[in-house]
Structure 1
Amino acid sequence: MSNKAQERLQKRFDLYDTDNDGQIGRADLENEARRIVEAFGEPADSPRAQLLLHAYPTLFDYLSDRAGAGDTLTKDQFVQVAEEHVLAEGPAGFARVLLPSIHGMVQLADTDGDGQISPPEFQKWLQAINADTDAAAAFQAVDTDGDGQLSVQEIVDAVGRYHAGELDAPLLGV
């Protein structure tokens, strides 16, 4: 794993460690999902919010199960299991593990209901995750087919490229 990929996984861990106790548990990912839902201004009980609120804890369950860690993961465990079960498997690993979270984010950001993310929706997405990046440049980098919309698959691929150190657009924060 490249230094950049390892650094990004460590930053992702820090983002998830909402109580800053050096480990993450299911509640940490639930808290991050709630923060994102609130940033979108979506009621937590809406079907769109529920997708993300369910996806983040499920992500923790998957990683924890693969690590054999139980209720919490340390930073080292998180980085190792993410590298082995997500990064090492390339696009297929990202699709299998992160598709529910990305689908939930798309549902929150997709205000016109077309199943894709437009540039204004993408701008709102980046604001909701507190991404400090040029939205127009990031959109262009992610829009690999050049159709002016981002599909779920383009976003999944971009998240994989980001964590592999090939793209600088943090679509899920950090």
Structure 2
Amino acid sequence: MYAEIQNETYLLHEMAAGNQQALKAIVEAFWPNIYAHALAYLRSPEKAEELTQDVFIAIWEKRSTLPGIENFRGYLFITARNKIISRLREKLGDELTGDEADAAETLYIPDSQLELKELNSLLRQGIAQLPPKRQRVFEMSRLEGKSHAEIAAELNISKDTVSEYITLALNFLRTYLKNNGNHLHIVIFCLYYI
């Protein structure tokens, strides 16, 4: 999951002592994974980069506690997870409250993936009902991670058409989930695909 780093314990002690070169080594080792994780949820390179910076700023601000941490990778993951949850709550505003917020948090715990499996199955059924071209555009965008420009070039259509197809697909899938799932499925769908 995370890059292997030599002398991690030494680097954490050095960071605790205020050594910025140790921080730099930690950032270089873990930045790609934290950034990729943030990007998967936030779907914005700028927001993912900002969040990743915030994670390492938070680590630096708490550097005096680092030598006592037995599982730094786990600590880093939890810090990133908490910041992602905060950003998603901001993004969804009042839509994510109470039990739904608690349920959304479980998405970031590796042992709690049942809702995701249910959503994936329901989503696959919904995607199969999209018109073929719209289905392909949606899959290329949301499942393969291609940009609108890449999709337009590959399918020989305009970027505006790509945007229109994705909007129509998202609207259809939201309705499909509302009619065939539960409210939590819609919340999860928004967290992952919008």
| Larger relative contact order (Cα-Cα within 8 Å, sequence gap ≥ 6) | 1
Larger Rg: 2
Higher helix fraction (1 or 2):
2
Interval containing the TM-score (normalised by the shorter chain): 0.3 to 0.5
Give me the TM-score of the superposition, normalised by structure 2.
0.33
What TM-score does the superposition give when structure 1 sets the normalisation length?
Answer: 0.36
